[in-house]
Amino acid sequence: MSNKQKRTQKHASKSLSRKASIGFRLLIALVLIIFAIFPILWVVSASFNPTGSLATQKLIPRNPGLGNYRELMAGEYPFWRWFGNSVYISAISAVGSLAITTVAAYGFSRFRYRGRKTMLKAIFLIQVFPTLLALVATFLMISQIGEVIPALGLGTHAALILIYLGGSMGINIWLMKGYIDTIPRDIDESAMVEGASSWKIFTKLILPLLRPILIVIAIINYIGTYGEFILASLLLKDAQKYTLMVGLQRFAAAQMDQRWGVFAAGALIGGLPIMIIYLILQDQIIGGLTVGAVKG
């Protein structure tokens, strides 16, 4: 057999084995996809299961109906209140955090002074530590503040928002500074020559340039806060003030087995919007995420 023949044979077998390999890999993908989305399908099915209990559920429910959703809406549990709480707490935290950190990051990015590097390094080191660890201390601090100013004490959304804001400062200042650094300083300087103040440069020139990344970071922050559980569960004691995560966890802990369908409906309403945002903005969010740490 000549060398040439050998090569074509090799090619032929290669393309055949490539087809087989693709088929095999698609098969694996199917198995993995089932693993990935089975729990989701199961919840969807549960939410339409008319009997509503864990025991009677089948993957394709007999007589599917909206009974669970109706029960959820009926208001026996303040589900919409929880949902509203989550939406507005996360929104204030995300927007507030971004507003504060963007301003701070601009200062760190554009001005040069002694101690700046040390300070940035310190911020980096501090944000490495998981805030979860200082849980007990944070709780005690809030209860102490509450002794003096009840409106900022345990059980208030204001305290929760402040903690979320405080915890997001380090990483967001770093992220934002990184982005602002990529905007050439020439832009600032030419505006400065024309007599614009730093504040004007920041709001009129830099912010518009940052808009795309600001939106992405806001969404990442929003999703993170929306899904946060432990601080909210520790601080909020009144059922009317629960966030959705705390409310659903308490609901599930109390009567998961009998009211599985109602829980499933609540989980879907609470989880789907986030999932959809994620899937639509996949690439941007992933880009933003891999810069930071792991999702909490």
| Contacts of other proteins in 60-99 (CB under 8 A) | none
Binding mask 34-63 for other proteins (x = CB under 8 A): -xxx-xx-xx--x------xxx-x-x----
The size of the chain, in residues, is 296
Asked if residues 63 and 217 have their Cβ atoms less than 8 Å apart, the reply is: no
Span of 9-17, 74-82, 160-168, 208-216 interacting with other proteins by CB under 8 A: 160-168
Task: With H, G, I as helix, E, B as strand and everything else as coil, classify residue 76.
Answer: coil
CA angle 43, 47, 53 (to 5 degrees): 95
Distance between CA atoms of 75 and 88, rounded to whole angstroms? 20
- Position 151 contacts other proteins (CB under 8 A): no
Nearer to other proteins, 165 or 241 (CB): 165
Q: Is there binding between residue 192 and other proteins (CB under 8 A)?
A: yes
Does 16 help bind other proteins (rule: CB under 8 A)?
Answer: no
Task: List the one residue from 2, 4, 5, 26 that touches other proteins (CB under 8 A).
Answer: 26
Span near other proteins by CB under 8 A; candidates 63-71, 73-81, 210-218, 247-255: 247-255
Shortest Å, Cβ 19 to other proteins = 11
Tell whether residue 222 is a contact of other proteins (CB under 8 A).
Answer: no
Q: Compute the least distance from the CB of residue 54 to other proteins, in Å.
A: 5
Can you tell me which of 20, 28, 187, 215 binds other proteins, judged by CB under 8 A?
28
Token pair, residue 230, equals 């432990």
Give yes or no for residue 22 binding other proteins (CB under 8 A). yes
Residues ≥6 apart with Cβ < 8 Å to 49: 56, 57, 58, 61, 64, 68, 260, 261, 264
CB of residue 189 to other proteins, shortest distance in Å:
8
167 binds other proteins (CB under 8 A): yes
CB atoms near residue 11 (< 10 Å): 10
271 sits near other proteins (criterion: CB under 8 A): yes
Contacting range for other proteins; rule: CB under 8 A; set: 6-14, 64-72, 209-217, 222-230: 222-230
Binding residues for other proteins restricted to 111-130, rule: CB under 8 A? 111-113, 116-117, 120-121, 123-124, 126-130
Cα–Cα distance between 70 and 137 in angstroms, integer?
42
Candidates 64-72, 203-211, 213-221, 243-251 — which segment interacts with other proteins by CB under 8 A?
243-251
| The two structure tokens encoding residue 123 | 């911020």
Tell me how far apart the alpha carbons of residues 92 and 230 are, in angstroms, rounded to a whole number. Answer: 19
Would you state the structure tokens that stand for residue 71, as one six-digit string? 């029960």
Output the six-digit token pair for 224. Answer: 């993170």
Q: In sequence order, what are the residues at sequence separation of 6 or more whose Cβ sits closer than 8 angstroms to the Cβ of residue 54?
A: 46, 256, 257, 258, 260
